[in-house]
Amino acid sequence: MTAARTKTRRTRPEQGTNLGAPSFPRSRRGKVGIPQTLAFFCLLLLFPAPGCAQHFNGAKAYDYARQFVAIGPRWVGSPGHAKAEQFLRDRFQHDALEDDAFQANTPIGPVLLHNFIVRFPGKKNGVIVLGTHYETNYPLRNINFVGANDGASTTGLLLAIADDLRARTARGKVLDGYSVWLVFFDGEEAFQSWSASDSTYGSRHLAAKWGRDSTLGKIKAFILADMIGDKDLDVQRETRSTGWLVDLVRQAAKKFGYEHYFFQHDEPVDDDHLPFVQRGIPSIDIIDLDYGPDNSYHHTAQDTLDKISAKSLTIDGDVFLETIRLIDLRSAVP
Question: Angle 58-70/154-168 helices, nearest 10 degrees?
Answer: 130
Which of 228, 326 has the CB closer to Zn ion?
228
Min dist CB 204 to Zn ion, Å, is: 16
Binding footprint of Zn ion, residue count (CB under 5 A): 1
Choose one: 58-66, 110-118, 149-157, 275-283; the region binding Zn ion (CB under 5 A).
Answer: 149-157
Choose one: 41-49, 144-152, 248-256, 268-276; the region binding Zn ion (CB under 5 A).
Answer: 144-152
Min dist CB 130 to Zn ion, Å, is: 18
Choose one: 12-20, 67-75, 99-107, 143-151; the region binding Zn ion (CB under 5 A).
Answer: 143-151
Which of 186, 318 has the CB closer to Zn ion?
186
Choose one: 14-22, 41-49, 146-154, 171-179; the region binding Zn ion (CB under 5 A).
Answer: 146-154
150 binds Zn ion (CB under 5 A): yes
Min dist CB 276 to Zn ion, Å, is: 19
Min dist CB 148 to Zn ion, Å, is: 12
Site map (CB under 5 A) of Zn ion, residues 101-140, x = contact: ----------------------------------------
Min dist CB 197 to Zn ion, Å, is: 17
Burial (CB count within 10 angstroms: exposed 0-12, middle 13-18, buried 19+), residue 57: middle
Residues at the site binding Zn ion, with contacts judged by CB under 5 A: 150
